[in-house]
Every structure is written in C-alpha cells, then in structure tokens.
Amino acid sequence: MAEKSHQKILMTGAYGQLGRSLKAICADRGVLCEGRDIDSLDICDAAAVRRWVVDSRPSVVINTAAFTAVDECEAREEQATAVNGTAVGHIAEACNEIDALLIQISTDYVFSGAATNPYRETDTVAPQTAYGRSKLRGEELARTAHRHLLLRTAWLYGRGGRNFVEAIRGQIDSGVENLKVVADQWGCPTFCDDLAAAILDLADADATGTIHAVNSGNTSWHGFAVEIARLLQADVRVVPVATSGFPRPAARPPYSVLDTSRLEKMLGRPMPHWRDGLRRYLET
C-alpha cells in the first residue's frame, strides 16, 4: 500500500503499549505525532480536550487511552464509564470542530463471548462485564464524530507494560516447572506493533466505520503459553485448566475470535499471523 503521511496525528494513552508502538511507527514513517497521557491530559476534562485538539488542528486523533483493568471495572463501573465512554464523546466533539478523523480503539468485550464462529463487525453486541459496557458506550459516542473509525481488537501485548507474554516469561524465569493456563478461552493474540501499522495504513486509506483488527489465526490462552515457552526454549510443562479453576470478579469471554475480512479488504492484506508477531516481540 502506498503510504500517504497525514500532516499531524494526536494520540491519547501515549505511555501505554499501543501508544508506544504508534509513536515508534510514526517516527519510522516520518509522521508527526503528538502523544499525551494522564500526566498532561485528563480526557474526562472536556475543556482541556477541546483546547488540545482545536489548538493542534490534527488530521487524525487516535484514542488509545482507557481504563483496562477488567476486574477493577466491576467495582468502579462509574469511573470506567467516564474514561471509556463519556470522555470519548469529548474527543468526538473536538474532532467535529476541526473535521478530524477520530480513531477509537475498542474491544472484543463488547460481545457476549458465546459465539462459535468469528465475530463480524455487524454481529449483535452484548457485553457481559462493566468493562465491556463502558467500551460499548465509547463506541456509541465515537460514532457521533462525523468522521470516525472504530477498531475492535483483543489480547494485546507490547513493550512497556504488563501483558500475558511477560506474565508467562516471569513465571518461567522464576523457575516454575508446571504452568497452569486456561485452555477454554479462545481469541487472537495481537502484537501492538502490528496493530499500530494497521491503524496508520487504515488512516491513510481513509477507512471509516467499524473494523476488527487482530493478528491472523487464533488460539487458547494455553496454546499461546505453549508457544511462548517454545520460543523461549523453556523446560516447563504448560498444563491446561478450565476457567472455573480461576474465578475472577469479571467474567471472561469463552470465545473472542474476531473476523478480519473487512480489514483484509481495506488493507489488501491480512495482519501477520499471531505466531509471527510473538516471535518478533520476543526477539526485541
């Protein structure tokens, strides 16, 4: 795909794993990108959001900021809704004032997780958790932006934060011989570098609407852990266990595989396979 650099991109959540990947790929492509995080911008402050966006006059605003502690959201749903929902409306209003494209990062948690086939963008949403409900509210408000792109993704991992890959690596490094990992939840492990590249390519293609963006292929958390251990050449036994053995405040979706047909049509290619993304992540 021919690259067409937008004049300027603003991004929230700059310190997060996806934010770091976006900053890096923008630098590689020569795209001007200004990132903010909670220390310099509270996205719940409508006036502050408006000043930043309107004064900067970007072509694109990418909102990666979110309250992502799924279990904590159950006890703090009002705060989760403020950050993941209401604040998105503030960003959308500011984008409308300068005709900027709003790219909102959403999640597989807007679905029930009860499907047996990959979720398409048009499938019925039915969040089962406070986190999912708050992110769905964010989707609704993002659609108030005249120009918007909703990207649903899942099972993210990247540099500079806590993620499943580092949790497994940490246990291996601690010397455990048996790793118990849930085997009855399925999804699409997604490397933030690959998602960031897709986001910029979609922006350059003037994509709008709702698109599912995850690495190709799917697996269980157990299968993901087995591949992590294999690539790390770790002498460890990865034991499959049921979700019921790990009760959590927020229900985890049994099936979160997302259909990426629309993404592939827009980009002219699929995102790399999850195993390839994992290999590159561990190499760096």
| Token code pair at residue 85 | 């929902």
In a domain, 234, yes or no: no
pLDDT of residue 284: 87
Residue 4 has pLDDT above 90, yes or no: no
Confidence of residue 161 (pLDDT cuts 50, 70, 90): confident
State the average pLDDT for the chain: 96
**Domains identified in the chain, total number:** 1
In a domain, 44, yes or no: yes
Residue 167 has pLDDT above 60, yes or no: yes
pLDDT of residue 7: 72
Residue 3 has pLDDT above 80, yes or no: no
Catalytic residues: 131
In a domain, 72, yes or no: yes
The model's pLDDT over 170-204, given as tens digits with 9 standing for 90+, comes to 999 999 999 999 999 999 999 999 999 999 999 99
In a domain, 180, yes or no: yes
Confidence of residue 146 (pLDDT cuts 50, 70, 90): very high
In a domain, 225, yes or no: no
pLDDT of residue 2: 41
pLDDT of residue 97: 98
Q: What is the CATH classification number for the domain harbouring 23?
A: 3.40.50.720
In a domain, 45, yes or no: yes
Report, as an integer, the average pLDDT of 54-68: 97
Residue 1 has pLDDT above 60, yes or no: no
The model's pLDDT over 204-257, given as tens digits with 9 standing for 90+, comes to 999 999 999 999 999 999 999 999 999 999 999 999 999 998 889 999 999 999
In a domain, 176, yes or no: yes
In a domain, 241, yes or no: no
Report, as an integer, the average pLDDT of 116-133: 98
pTM of the model: 0.96
Q: By residue range, what is the domain housing residue 185?
A: 9-220+247-283
